Amino acid sequence: MHTNINGALRFNKNNPRYFTDDSGRSIYLAGSHTWAVMQDIWLEPELRKNMEYDTFLQMLEDNGHNFLRFWQWMHTKNAAWSEIQIMFDPQPFARTGQGTANDDLPKFDLSVWNKNYFTRLRDRVEKAGDKGVYVAIMLFDGWCIKNSPPQKNSSWGFHPMNPENNINNITDDPSIENGRPWDLYSLNCPQLLQWQEKYVKKMIDTVNDLDNVLFEICNEIPHRKEAMDWQNYMCDFIHEYELKKPKQHPVGITPEGTCQDNDELFATSADWISPSCGPIFEYRCNPPAADGRKVIINDTDHIWGHGGEVAWIWKNFARGISVIFMDPWEPIAGGNQRKSWVDGNVSKNSRYYYAWDPLRRNLGYANDMAKKMDLNLCIPHNELCTSTYCLANPGSEYLCFLPSGETEGLDLREAKCIYDIEWLNPATGIITIGGGVFEEEWRNSIPGVTVVGGKRYLIHAPFDGPAVLYLRKKETQE
């Protein structure tokens, strides 16, 4: 395991906006995720494609990322985003049953595990840990089920837990009034729930001894009370099961998509959440300051889909929020059919779309900044900078994000110390020590590498465009 990972993540009593580990430091999480990290995804009848997982991990390491969302697709065929037949393999269950499933292959036996699947799961999570990357293992996917019509030729039609595809005598019918299988993620189908519990236990057993693990219950589950009750049940189920294990890992609940009420997520028993956009798109445009009720990991998947902005990374950082970017490093099969994934005549479903590299780099810059700071003592202080993006331990250190690239105001009146000055240019990654314009009242001054506290300042970066200012206490004034 990578030396930067010092035990499993856990609740941080010093600053519950972040997790901690055996080091006692706050652990900021920032990284990328892509769809094919666990299962191969390919278009039928093209040849099967196995993503370059090792190359993807190297990209994460090269860019300084420390977080990866680990997707699971629990259907063998078809996807709601494409009319083209898309294949997903391997699956966690062995295909040793008598008879033929809807994909014309042998039926599943849900009581027998596919050893190749769990070998791959453990191997890939371990490899991520060797790179210093934490892995949030998604246990279920709800997006394709949510959008799955009741027909046989649908995501649900090819799901291993569909009674037509296994030999396990399931009589539960997860269909609700619209014919869609949304009760798959509810407490209304006790047989299905039993098999889900066995699967979750096997997932935990496979990785419990690893320190770089988090769990996510389900991706973009249908938004209904039954589903939220099921997620809470599963969250408690994992907590209880892991209490008997050597290690305990954080469990997360994430939103249906852009429009869910985030108060519902904060009210769950999860250790961490990913929010939806919020009623006025605040988690996309102006993230509210984290208050420590949950560790928040803001995910572009639930905010943009295909999208993201460099400024968004730093806005979240200054508000005490971790971030992750849904990265088309491995373009998703059939994704080019979606109009929302096209910019003019250029596909966003591409590793090389022009906006993605700046996001990848700045996720690493944010991680580097987190390592410099004592995040156990830093909380959002919107009132100290006119940009409102300020993470600070007043009197000791200040991180300010200036998104407009124009002059902002900074209040150091209660900080009677001398501070080292450091500027980061998000566009280039270049760090400038000292410099910039610090105007005290009406008297202009361009300091060297320090600034004197106890005053209010107008500040301007020594370069054009958005800027990150970091002030760290040098010495106490006499």
Q: What is the C-alpha separation between 24 and 12, in angstroms, rounded?
A: 8
pLDDT at 441: 62
The per-residue pLDDT for range 435-456, each reduced to its tens digit, is: 888 887 655 556 679 999 999 9
Closest CA to 367 of 314, 404, 403: 314
pLDDT-derived band at 478 (thresholds 50, 70, 90) equals very low
Residue 443 amino acid letter: R
The per-residue pLDDT for range 138-161, each reduced to its tens digit, is: 999 999 888 887 777 789 999 999
Angle at which helices 310-318 and 356-372 cross, to 10°: 20
At a CB cut-off of 8 Å and minimum separation 6, what does 320 contact? Answer: 15, 17, 18, 289, 290, 296, 378, 379, 380, 391
What is the end-to-end Cα distance of the chain in Å, rounded?
46
Residue 182 amino acid letter: W
pLDDT at 341: 82
pLDDT-derived band at 460 (thresholds 50, 70, 90) equals very high
The per-residue pLDDT for range 207-220, each reduced to its tens digit, is: 999 999 999 999 99
Q: Which residues of 444-454 are buried (b: 16+ CB within 10 A; e: fewer)?
A: eeebeebbbbe
Q: Could you count the other beta carbons within 10 Å of the beta carbon of residue 478?
A: 3
* Tokens encoding 252: 């997360």
Percent above pLDDT 70 for the chain: 97
Q: Could you count the other beta carbons within 10 Å of the beta carbon of residue 3?
A: 6
The per-residue pLDDT for range 99-117, each reduced to its tens digit, is: 999 999 999 999 999 999 9
Closest CA to 219 of 312, 102, 141, 107: 141
Q: Is the pLDDT of residue 410 over 60?
A: yes
Q: Could you count the other beta carbons within 10 Å of the beta carbon of residue 73?
A: 24
Task: Indicate the range of 153-157, 161-165, 271-275, 361-365 predicted with least confidence.
Answer: 153-157
Q: Is the pLDDT of residue 179 over 60?
A: yes
The CA-atom distances, in angstroms, between 338 and each of 84, 209, 315 are 12, 40, 29
- pTM for the full predicted model: 0.96
Domains along the chain?
A: 10-372 (3.20.20.80), 381-476 (2.60.120)
pLDDT at 121: 98
* Tokens encoding 153: 């030729």
Q: Is the pLDDT of residue 280 over 70?
A: yes
Kindly state the average pLDDT of the residues 118-129: 98
Evaluate whether 289 touches 320 at the Cβ level (below 8 Å): yes
Closest CA to 429 of 313, 301, 299: 313
Q: Is the pLDDT of residue 321 over 50?
A: yes
Q: Is the pLDDT of residue 416 over 80?
A: yes
At a CB cut-off of 8 Å and minimum separation 6, what does 196 contact? Answer: 140, 161, 234
Mean pLDDT of the chain: 93
At a CB cut-off of 8 Å and minimum separation 6, what does 175 contact? Answer: 150, 181, 182, 183
Q: Is the pLDDT of residue 295 over 70?
A: yes
Q: What is the C-alpha separation between 397 and 316, in angstroms, rounded?
A: 18
pLDDT-derived band at 2 (thresholds 50, 70, 90) equals low
